[in-house]
Amino acid sequence: MKKILRFVVVIGLFMLILQCSSRQAPQQRPEYALVIHGGAGTILKNNMPPEKEKEFRDALTTALRTGEKILATGGSSLDAVVATIRFMEDSPLFNAGKGAVFTHEGKNELDAALMNGADLNVGAVAGVTRVKNPIELARKVMENSPHVLFARDGAEAFAVEQGMELVDPNYFRIESRWHSLQKALEREKEKKSAFYRGTKNDNKFGTVGCVALDKMGNLAAGTSTGGMTNKRFGRIGDSPIVGAGTYASNKTCAVSATGWGEFFIRNVVAYDIAAMMEYKNFPVQKAAAAAIEKVGKMKASGGVIVLDKNGNIAMQFNSAGMFRGFSIAGEKPVVKIFGREE
């Protein structure tokens, strides 16, 4: 009898300890979460007039609200990512859709990718010149074709077949981007090289990206860009390359990158982060920092936004600044631009 009593007491104590530790367990997954970026680069407070800063902060806040509204009402992470990026593509402030940078020949060639973390399905487009919202075309590639990446004329023919409206290529043009191309061309002439690499001062990128976690626990990632000023020979960057600039898996995390694309492709940055989380059990912040360190070691700059399956966030970059923000269910949205901003 005594033995049984002792057994019951021990089991009781054990249950109590278990309960306590589950109360202390890491915070519960939020109902939903959304993270955005609007590009990384030489973004310094001293160089940005207050009105411009306000414009960016307002645009980032509206972008967050756009996706948040969808997630709060039970919409999917894919819907939230597409709507958020569409808003940023339509804003001339960012290097995606309207306001994209110019190629060497004076054109706007757009790249975008979308990935669904639930089934690893992907859609991407590269080098399109007449599609108003490339992220929407990326979704159609994902959902309405057996393929993952369409380029240039073929991608546009598919857009027409899908009933998408094409715009005049002039729609994307804004004067400040045109001016940046002229400056780049002048510098290129001085260097007599077919491959203009840019300098620290004109490496202001402006790609846009979004990662989201919905109430069903599904992750999605999307990225959209005009690429790099003065690109030529059909150059494609990391944004539409799955695993480099964009990746999502419900097993680990969703990632969108921005920066010098060639180095993000060479380091397979987005997948590298997911792999470090899956195989090495790295927390999201540690994985993001390790991946950006590898890019930095090659003397390239840029950043990533990462959202893991539990709603933990990393916004890591090695440039002076990165337009960024996040919104977590039940919390006030946060927008930041410069480095070391509280």
Site for ligand ASP, rule CB under 6 A: 39, 95, 205-207, 225, 227-228, 237-239, 245, 258-259, 261
Nearer to ligand ASP, 77 or 95 (CB): 95
CB of 168 to ligand ASP, least distance (A): 23
Nearer to ligand ASP, 95 or 250 (CB): 95
Nearer to ligand ASP, 133 or 223 (CB): 223
CB of 317 to ligand ASP, least distance (A): 11
Nearer to ligand ASP, 232 or 251 (CB): 232
CB of 262 to ligand ASP, least distance (A): 7
Distance CA 101, CA 110 (A): 9
Q: Which one of the listed residues 66, 129, 207, 258 is annotated catalytic?
A: 207
129 is known as an active-site residue: no
Nearest CA to 209 out of 263, 169, 174, 254 is that of 254
Contacts 24+ apart (CB under 8 A), 175-183: 177/95, 177/99, 177/100, 177/101, 177/102, 177/226, 177/229, 178/102, 178/106, 180/101, 180/102, 180/229, 181/101, 181/102, 181/104, 181/106, 181/229, 181/230
Q: Dmax over Cα atoms in the chain, in whole Å?
A: 95
CB of 80 to ligand ASP, least distance (A): 21
| DSSP-derived 3-state class of residue 285 | helix
Nearest CA to 104 out of 42, 193, 41 is that of 193
**Residue numbers annotated as active site:** 207
